[in-house]
Amino acid sequence: MLRARLYLALGLAAACQDPVVPLGPENQVTVTNQPGLFRLQAKDMNNVIADTSFIWVSADSQARILHNSLVTHGETDLHVLDARGVEIYSHELSVVYETDTLTDKGAPGSWLVRFDIKAATGEIDVTLETP
């Protein structure tokens, strides 16, 4: 009986050790990045790890964030920094499936939109737009 439990525990531990993989073509990543509108979509993620950043131009001091992401395993964090480098939004995408919210107010100009993806499984669909 003890031996059976040991084999079961070893089997479960091995199953949880899927290799982490970078975000790649198999994730069908699409990016729309134009002044006033940014969107990132990534599909079929399976234990993906990535730290991906984009420069996005916002003529406004605030942006609307819409996300319909579904991260069932791991974690994906979204960080938005304004033109002065001040973080005006930080949120884990896997906590809530649908979000329609605003960033804090910040300096218009070139903003940094950063996705910190940590062993994530699921899909990302995030849009930033000026109100």
Is the model's pLDDT at 15 over the cut of 50? no
For the domain that residue 73 is a member of, what is the CATH number?
Answer: 2.60.120.380
Is the model's pLDDT at 75 over the cut of 50? yes
Domain that holds residue 91: 20-129
- Residue 27 falls inside a structural domain: yes
Look at the chain and report how many structural domains it folds into. 1
- pLDDT digits 0-9 by tens, 91-116: 998 766 788 999 999 999 999 999 99
- Residue 1 falls inside a structural domain: no
- Residue 13 falls inside a structural domain: no
Helices (H), the chain: 2-15
Task: Report the predicted TM-score, pTM, of the whole model to 2 decimal places.
Answer: 0.83
- Residue 52 falls inside a structural domain: yes
CB 86 within 8 A of CB 107: yes
- Residue 99 falls inside a structural domain: yes
Interacting residues of 83 by C-beta distance below 8 A, sequence separation 6+: 106, 107, 108, 109, 110, 111
